[in-house]
Amino acid sequence: MDFESMKLSRTAKNIVEKWAKVQPGENVCVVTDTNKLSIAEAIANASHAVGAETVICIMTPRGKHGEDPPKVVGAAMAAANVVFAPISYSIGHTEARHAAVRAGARFFMLREITEESFTSGAISADPDEIYAVNMRLIEDLKDTRRIRMTTELGSDISMSVEGRPPPDLVGRLKGGLTLPSGEVAFAPVEGTANGVVIFDHGSDGVGLFTEPAKVTVKDGQIVKIEGGESARKLQKAIEGVENATNIAEFAIGTNPLSRMTGVIAEDKILRGCVHIGIGTSIFIGGKVKAGLHFDLVALRPTVWCDDKEVVSKGVLNAKYL
């Protein structure tokens, strides 16, 4: 086994045994596409090594985040105890994932994962540490009624989350999580988000921004996107997609090892940053089903949950650490 294969195997073993806690005799489904076969094989080998009945389902890459996999893949997911999805575009916010979790599967989404990001950076963070930080935030913020976020670039947005406590996204409870992991997320009450966000890092559907994009939100919907080429790309990516302008998620990153490389799946969970999801919200406690779910990242935010300053200029309050 060469050095690169050894690194893949080491990470796969950690994911299978420490994150997913796969047990002998469990049915494991590894869902992948033709771009991610080496990672899928490493996970499948690690799963087989602990005595799980393991299969790999290979499909062509989806066209965008939030697009359901083929029905035969969805059926395999629903029959599994554990699903791993090293994949190009996320199937986390899909009916297939929801059906699998509802049937009892632990689901682990590895979207946009590369061999490099699979073996270093955020995915290497200690799951016990992330879980502890997340649970302190969840417990302290479970009764939050309203969130407000500002940034030095001019962002100022607020929204109601009353009756929408943040779910456990670290997977110690039934359901699983996204890897690399590290966020505490709310599903805003539909129609309540208002204000302006200057997204200065990047988003799904675009990648890294070459310049900030100014997004104006009114009554829970994006009504205007302004800026340069990145803003125009974002506008084009969501045009004509049902419910794509819905403010679906407000999330605070908690991972200490994110490197901000331009892979949004890793960048969005940097400890102290914020990402705002648009489109589908039904899988994190909202009511909207859309044709996509994109995450947009804002750096150095200040966040208040009611009267609690949870993040100050990109630094998570020390009481949660």
Looking at every residue in the chain, the average pLDDT score rounds to: 93
Contacts of residue 62, defined as CB under 8 A and 6 or more positions apart, other chains included, come to: 33, 69, 87, 88, 89, 91
Percent of the chain topping pLDDT 70: 97
Given this model, what pLDDT does residue 73 score? Answer: 97
pLDDT at 64: 83
Ramachandran area for residue 39 (φ above 0: left; ψ -120 to 50: alpha; else beta)? alpha
Fold of 3-119: Thermophilic metalloprotease-like (3.40.1830)
Per-residue pLDDT at 172: 46
- Taking only the tens place, the pLDDT of each residue in 113-152 is 899 889 999 998 888 898 899 999 999 999 999 999 999 9
Q: What's the pLDDT band for 170 if we cut at 50, 70, 90?
A: low
Per residue in 205-251, pLDDT (tens digit) is: 899 999 999 999 999 999 999 999 999 999 999 999 999 999 999 99
pLDDT digits (tens, 9 = 90+) for 246-278: 999 999 999 999 988 888 989 999 999 999 999
Q: How many angstroms separate the CA atoms of 252 and 184, rounded?
A: 5
Provide the residue ranges of all domains of the chain, joining segments of one domain with +. Answer: 3-119, 124-167+177-320
pLDDT at 169: 62
Residue 122: strand pairing partners: none
CB atoms within 10 A of CB 115: 16
